[in-house]
Chains A and B, each alone.
Chain A
Amino acid sequence: MQVPAPFEYARATSVQDALELLERHGPESHVIAGGHSLLPMMKLRLARPEWLIDINDLAELRHITEDAGVLRVGALTRHAALLGSDVVGRLFPIVHDAEKVIADPVVRNRGTIGGSLGQADPAEDLTTVCDVLRAQVVIVGPAGERVVDVAEFHRGPYETACEQNELITEVRFPIRTGSASAYEKVERRVGDWAVAAAGAAVQLGDDGTIADAAIGLTALGLEGLATDAAAVLVGQRPSEDLIAEAARLAAEASSPVEDQRGPVDYKRHLADELTRRVLRRALERVGATATAA
């Protein structure tokens, strides 16, 4: 049995209490949500927090609410809850696409959206989803609450704008009319982390041209969105050629590294292939038919 190094444990009763506990126990105290990223690292003794502040009792962080043009999702919302939510599926099909391929039901029953973003693993799927949906992250700290764009939230692999003494409380997704989204991932096996994945969101104008688009890549060495790729779409009518051009640019923007999941050329190929697929599907979902050129 793999066992973590010794640590102390406290169970927070409110957001305020969690913040106080983090403050009191200092820099080596860490929040634990679903534990499905933190505990495996602790068992391998790669993470050695001195204190774990358990936030699982904070019911106020567990909600999915549609509210004035925004979908508010509490940080403690489990993957399974996102996958089970009709409103999420209707507004943001990309979330369901992604959730279906995040880990397995056992992990999805515990893992949370706050933990996923907090972990900021480069192969983590919800980060790309949030990028593509241009979500905002609500962070609460000793100095109060701040709302940051997800682009600003991410500082790189395993690094975020949320400080050790702060808490992610909510993720906000702007609801846009006439838009749709999609996500696709290649994995070696069900439950495996992505070899590569891509996500896209498109908004269609009244005239049938693409009013807005966002493309994101997972595990492909791209921080943030593939902006050049999305830019070629805007103002254009959907077509296979256009999709191919955007996919080519997305692949160009990627900088994958070779590992057990595959070599660089394959992963770059996937950036192209998967971008095509998600653009096609998102356009299909929004009711546009991409005309073959």
Chain B
Amino acid sequence: MTTVQERSPMPQEREPNPALTDPSRPIGFGRVQRKEDPRFVRGKGRYLDDVVLPGMLHGAVLRSPMAHARLVSIDTTEALAHPKVHAVITGKDLEGLNLAWAPTLSADVQAVLATDKVRFQGQEVAFVVAEDRYSARDALELIDVEYEELPVVIDARRALDPGAAVIRDDKEGQTDNHIFDWEAGDKAETDAVFARADVVVRQEVVYPRVHPAPMETCGAIADYDPIDGKLTLYETTQAPHAHRTLYAMVAGIPEHKIRVIAGDIGGGFGNKVGIYPGYVCAIVGSIVTGKPVKWVEDRSENLMSTSFARDYIMKGEVAATRDGKILAVRTHVLADHGAFNATAQPTKYPAGFFSIFTGSYDLEAAHCSVTGVYTNKAPGGVAYACSFRVTEAVYLVERMVDVLAQELEMDPAELRLANFIRPEQFPYKNKTGWEYDSGDYEPALRMCMEQIGYADLRREQAEKRARGELMGIGVSFFTETVGAGPRKHMDIVGLGMNDGAEVRVHPTGKAVVRISVQTQGQGHETTFAQIVGEELGIPTEDIEVVHGDTDQTPFGLGTYGSRSTPVSGGAVALAARKVREKAKAIAAAMLETRPEDLEWEKGRFYVKGDPSAAKTISEIALGAHGTVELPEGVDGNLDAEVTYDPPNLTFPFGAYICVVDVDPGTGKVKVRRFVAVDDCGTRINPMIVEGQIHGGLADGVGMALMEFIGFDEQGNCLGGSFMDYLIPTAMEVPDWETGYTVTPSPHHPIGAKGIGESATVGSPPAVVNAVVDALAPFGVTHLDMPCTPARVWAAMQGRPTPPI
């Protein structure tokens, strides 16, 4: 049903070269079906819960019913007496192993099992290991915990109040709920521009707490072998190598004795980056019982306790001239990080890449400051396809530009067009320190406007308004920053954000590529094979992609922040090129000529001026492993390995326009149309690119219209099931219409920029801008997400409320 319209200003979707082999076998880039899909559509994927090991036991976590309470006592006697229970582990037991607390990804510590207090509803208190998962759950009810209730801090705005309960009294010297203050840009310069601007608009914009809600919840199976001291850990993780290193650092098991295996993963969206207490408990459970222990959380546990996303309260300000030149943007953000600061960000970026909030516009000045606070809510704050807080940044600036357009009575698309960074300004250094590698914004927005029929829609809207009907058109234009990152700037807990890749061409010309990144549905097994195919002229189906096993793959930081293609894709392309260089030397030996006399054509080297004197990559592979007399310094294989340190991030961008109709009697929003024009540089597999966009757009509609984790005054989580935490269905999303432009990254080996998160980042402001536009006749200038019927109606009555 999806309408896909494609228009490209540049010829770029390279046709596979059919000349070399069978024309039905595409080679390199192009629209090919995913190699992994035959097993998924047949139900033959192997997810964590499909793994059953001999003698395996099952774990279950006892969680706190309270948001903030002192632990008075835990009595496990009855649970231990349950005939099928093998062990009950509490925080006290972990203290003995020095594992009660574990470091987070943001220089904080997090309780594995509570020892002193519980700090959010759903926090881990005890772990039961039993013969089956039913008994494990039954035994949870037999544990007797006495709590002494404490006052809670739920609203981040109140977290720094003088009398607020101190959540982290475990931290020496911590006397309030303050975590960090961070700023970017030049404050004085920005204030000066604001002081002389004709027009200043201000708006508080809340990006509420939402959840990645992957279809597969998180889990682990720990299998500790007491004889050789080896720990095999099956995990739902987006970052197997980083996990292995962290376990080695925290648990004291030598790194070479740890093997992390990530099988098929049913969605991650950032939810599976961190190490959760349940994983650590499974390890301890296996060590204690001497048997493999499986722990898989249920849906409520996933929603209530694992990494949430967003939760930013942003005060936005824009300074502009009366005729619509945007001069500066200024913001202060209150960031709710929950009970432990466990957000996964590069070390030097406590607020992630939020400082990209200057968007796609050429500004004179910009300044942001972010204050992070503790509250009695679940920790995390990683992702949900967020490119390290770029989502919040884009939402802020794109909402604010619309607020300005309304104030200036200018068309929001025209206002954007007038303020874009111009193509000749790239590489463009923005006012908060980012260097945008490339971009050509105007054609993308114009294409989007043309594709949706912008002028006609505005006419239709005017007619409808005259009849009292509510229709809105929302524009958003985003610039993403992905592909973290250059090791001189970026690390996570001291690990540089680089990735390794290894390519081996077997004697018969088939190949294997081993990568450090971890697919959760993105199609790595196809995309990475295509990159090698493009470089070496080997058909995609002849290339095996190996990932998800630390014993079999090179080191690297994993898949999140749209970094796989920008970082790992770069590594794979360069490794393949190394192989090609080697192949050239060997081909020259085989053809009895000099390498510089050879010409490359996808899949073979031939002698310049004599195309019939040629060696294909398969022939060269056989030669390399065979008896060909090898040139000096070339050894007998066709293998190469590269660890890629990207020189800069990549900056995908896109123009999105959304059309909504609002029922004036009920406040119900219907998304009628959505056109997304994306530019992710080189498009390796356009079908996979579109799939990523479709999914992200659905995410965006979900966040804009319904997703929200709320809490009541006692700190009870009100979003702990799919009955309360709503994610969109096919009924809430329109047929997606997509288009693209191609502006290759100048520094990336194949010019690719990453696409995993673009749509999630870019679509929420388009939807919200459309809803606000629809409500303009009621004088509405802003409405916070989620735009549920009740909240839309309240805005129509002139009393919009922020979500809490």
Contact = CB atoms under 8 A, between A and B. Distances in A.
B729 A188 contact: no
Interface stretch (A12-20, A168-176, A189-197): A189-197
Most central of A186, A195, A269, A274 by chain B CB within 10 Å: A186
A193 B732 CA distance: 15
A57 B281 CA distance: 44
A68 to B, nearest CB: 40
Given A262-B789, A262-B790, A2 B729 contact: no
Contacts of B666: 186, 270, 273-274
A144 interface: no
Contacts of A189: 705-706, 726, 728-729, 731-732
A260 interface: yes
A209 B472 CA distance: 41
Contacts of A186: 666, 668, 789
Interface stretch (B30-38, B131-139, B230-238, B570-578): B131-139
Contacts of B122: none
A3 B134 contact: yes
B621 to A, nearest CB: 48
Contacts of A265: 797
Nearest to B217: A1
A6 B601 CA distance: 68
Interface of A is mostly: loop
Nearest to A104: B729
Given A2-B298, A6-B138, A270-B666, A188 B133 contact: no
A3 B794 contact: no
A194 B296 CA distance: 32
A5 interface: yes
Interface residues of A, number: 29
A174 to B, nearest CB: 31
A27 B298 CA distance: 30
B726 A273 contact: no
Interface in A89-118: 104
Contacts of B141: 5, 45
Contacts of A104: 729
B138 A188 contact: no
Contacts of A267: 790
Contacts of B724: 260
B793 interface: yes
Task: Give the size range of B's interface with the partner.
Answer: 20 to 34
Interface string B713-728: 0000010010110101
B298 A193 contact: no
B788 A188 contact: yes
A79 interface: no
B133 A3 contact: yes
B633 interface: no
A1 B788 contact: no
Nearest to B797: A265
Nearest to B668: A186
B665 A190 contact: no
Most central of B141, B668, B710, B788 by chain A CB within 10 Å: B788
B300 interface: yes
A131 B731 CA distance: 29
Contacts of A40: 723
Nearest to B707: A189
B138 A195 contact: no
A39 B434 CA distance: 53
Contacts of B299: 2
Contacts of A277: 665
A261 interface: yes
A263 interface: yes
Given A186-B668, A189-B729, A1 B789 contact: no
B48 to A, nearest CB: 12
A158 interface: no
B788 A269 contact: no
B296 A263 contact: no
Contact of B723 (A3, A45, A193, A266): A193
Interface in B681-709: 705-706
A3 B137 contact: yes
A94 B706 CA distance: 27
A112 B276 CA distance: 40
A188 B298 contact: no
Interface string A248-282: 00000000000011110111011001100100000
Give the top 5 A-B pairs by smallest Cβ distance, nearest first.
A262-B790, A190-B731, A273-B665, A2-B298, A266-B790
6 contacts: A3-B133, A104-B729, A189-B729, A191-B729, A267-B790, A273-B666
Given A263-B794, A273-B665, 4 more contacts: A1-B296, A6-B138, A45-B141, A261-B790
